[in-house]
Amino acid sequence: MSADSPSCGDVACGDVLRARWLRCARRTCIVRGGDTARERDPALCAAGIRRVAGLRCAAGIRYVRGTTVDAMRFFAGLWRLAIAAMCFVGTYEAWHKPQFWTYFTFQAGFVLGFVMLWAGAASILRGVQPPAWLKGCVTVYAVITAVVAFLMMPPDDPAYVPQVLGLMTNTWLHRVAPIMAAADFVLFDGHRRFRWHYMFSWLAYFPAYLAFVMIRAAIWPHSGPAAGGNPYPYAFIDPNALGWTGFAMNCGKLALGFLAIGFVTFLIDRILPERPLLG
């Protein structure tokens, strides 16, 4: 057997051990490095070679896996930037009609767009992601926006609502963006990050929003945005139409519904694995 290309079994020892070379005999395998030499059982020699080869194989797998993770992170960044674009397009009307900022869905959609812009840029540039509490909060209110749009709001009139790429801006803001935000939370976010009290602190926005609507209605009672200059944006929180008892009951029902959505979001976060499902 040539000393220039020795082998232990079927593996070329010189290729694996780089600076050292092995001379394999029938029953011995001599490993030489510098001025020292010692004899090693052939089985131990082969086991060492297999270990080095296994490490090389693992390094290759890590490289492929890292490349896949990078690709998925880039895709997640584009997905989040697309959500941000939908939110900003969806709030287009409010930039021309400031009274539209009274709508809950416009406020929640704009904040969702800002957070998704942050998350998308951080994904692509390997930056700092939004805090778990904030990401969970906008996800909860995105789902609430979709529920309100699908179940409690009348259909939009295409004669009055602008269209972008064949869809009304309200459709982008109230339906498409929230669905994509929920998918982003499930697929691209790390999980098991929410604390149990988040589901209660997420609700802080709701009473703040109600206070904003009530104070604004008291100061500017004919400012709209509803028909006829009604300052209450939704009929289900209009105390003039419902009476204070009906108003209080509706607010209580909404608070319970918001808490339920927050609780479901918290449970999903606890059930899903810690690492993102994609990436």
- pLDDT tens digits for range 170-182: 888 889 999 999 9
How far apart are the C-alpha atoms of 46 and 250, rounded to whole Å? 75
Q: What's the pTM? A: 0.74
Segment 145-167, tens digit of pLDDT = 998 888 877 777 676 777 777 77
pLDDT value at position 177? 95
Contact 174, 90 (CB under 8 A): yes
Tell the burial category of 212 from Cβ atoms under 10 Å away from its Cβ (0-12, 13-18, 19+).
Answer: middle
The dihedral of CA 48, 51, 53, 56: what is its sign?
Answer: negative
